[in-house]
Amino acid sequence: MHRYLIPALAPFLATALMAGPATAQPSAPLEPWRSYTGVTWHKPAADGSVQPYADSANAPIAGIHFDARNRAFVSTPRLISPGAPATLSILDTAADGGPARLTAFPSEAGNAVDASPEQHLRNVLGFYIDRRNGWLWALDQGFVAGQSEAPHGAQKLMVYQLSSGKLLKRIGLDAVADRKGSFLNDIVVDERRKITYISDSGLRSAPANQVGIIVVDYASSATRRLLDRHPALAVEPGARVMSHGEEVWPGKPLLLGINGIALSPDAGTLYWTVTTGTKAYAISTAVLRQRNASQAEVAAAVRELGEVGGNTDGIATDRNGMLYITDVTHNGIAAYDPKRRTMRLLASDERVYWPDTPTMANNGDLIFTASNLNRHFAGAVKPGEERYTLWRLPLAGPAKARD
């Protein structure tokens, strides 16, 4: 395991059997859209060539989302090494090879690790593009590789204006997330109400993961933690994470609870999946927004949607309400139809290594990242051999990206 990953994650990994696939054969084609050999924040030379970042193998691309101008924003979480110039950037998709050309957002100074942890982005995995308001919501985990505890004030939600990069609001999360045990993973936003839902996977407190869902109200900055350590968010007993027919980190298995989260088009339903598990879940957001609802009432509203068929990472919905789930076990995308209440493996390709974040492009295609993250975190990818691939799944019909 990588020298930075050992102190950050190894103490929190323990034993975990995964249910077999319960899905039909895939029917849709996957296409490699962009494939990069590492990353770079360097400016191109006069001849157009660009120098890769020296530690590219430790800065894998994880998240991706597009704004209304079709700019691609990506996260390079500082989970393996703290040294990357930025953890949130804009990707130049005009280049379809070589190192991924990144420009720090809002700036390199705004991503500084050695500056005040309350005001600078330190470790972003999940973020959200808010097209209705023209904002970017960045979820900062607070800690970086090598730290056993997030500094005071480092766990936070930062809201930026997309057009200018101006910081509009900072909302601290220390009151609802443990600085040692939390792992703030993913974020989705009810753009009309300006209500945010955050998944806490509790990876750093495994095997007794401190899982939970955090609800944030932009207007009041009020934060609440719900479904704390609820079984539907926790690691499934006996489950293990599989990728390409092999267990992830054998001997020190990955124990990751609730991970990807998504909203229905009307923002009335919140969906989520558990990575060390095989099921999908949902809950009415009306219950989550009801401030006087008891924990028991919230827990009673959780619905199990059934087996995905494999382990999962990111999820997303389209304008028609279909739910798309990355299946890391079967190297592709599963789809859940909430109207028919059916789940199936929609697309798969053996060349996909750890499908991570799915998102809707402006033309309605589903784009997702695949960066071989499990092997990067194990220190098994040698410098110069990293491949950060963006995959495309063309979806029939008009543009499906939610406003």
pLDDT at 35: 96
Structural element, H or E, at residue 140? strand 135-140
Note the pLDDT tens digit of each residue in 370-394: 999 889 888 899 888 899 999 999 9
CB atoms within 10 A of CB 183: 27
Sorted by where each begins, the domain ranges of the chain are 5-36+120-393
pLDDT at 226: 98
pLDDT at 248: 93
DSSP string covering 329-385: TTTEEEEEETTTTEEEEEEE-TT--SEEEEEE-TTS-EEEEE--HHHHHTT-SPTT-
DSSP string covering 182-201: --EEEEEEETTTTEEEEEE-
Which of 389, 399, 310 lies closest to 346, judged by CA? 310
How far is residue 35 from each of residues 193, 298, 371, measured CA to CA in Å? 37, 43, 10
Look at the chain and count its residues: 403
pLDDT at 19: 34
CB 214 within 8 A of CB 201: no
pLDDT at 103: 98
pLDDT at 250: 87
Query: Would you report the helix, strand and coil content of the chain in percent, each value rounded to 5?
Result: 10, 35, 55
Tens of pLDDT along the chain (403 residues) come to 443 343 444 433 333 333 334 445 666 789 999 999 999 999 988 888 899 999 999 999 999 999 999 999 999 999 999 999 999 999 999 998 999 999 999 999 999 999 999 999 999 999 999 999 999 999 999 999 999 999 999 999 999 999 999 999 999 999 999 999 999 999 999 999 999 999 999 999 999 999 999 999 999 999 999 999 999 999 999 999 999 999 999 888 999 999 999 999 999 999 999 999 999 999 999 999 999 999 999 999 999 999 999 999 999 999 999 999 999 999 999 999 999 999 999 999 999 999 999 999 999 999 999 999 889 888 899 888 899 999 999 986 443 444 3
The pTM of this model reads 0.91
* 383, two tokens: 């410098």
Q: Which CATH superfamily is domain 5-36+120-393 in?
A: TolB, C-terminal domain (2.120.10.30)
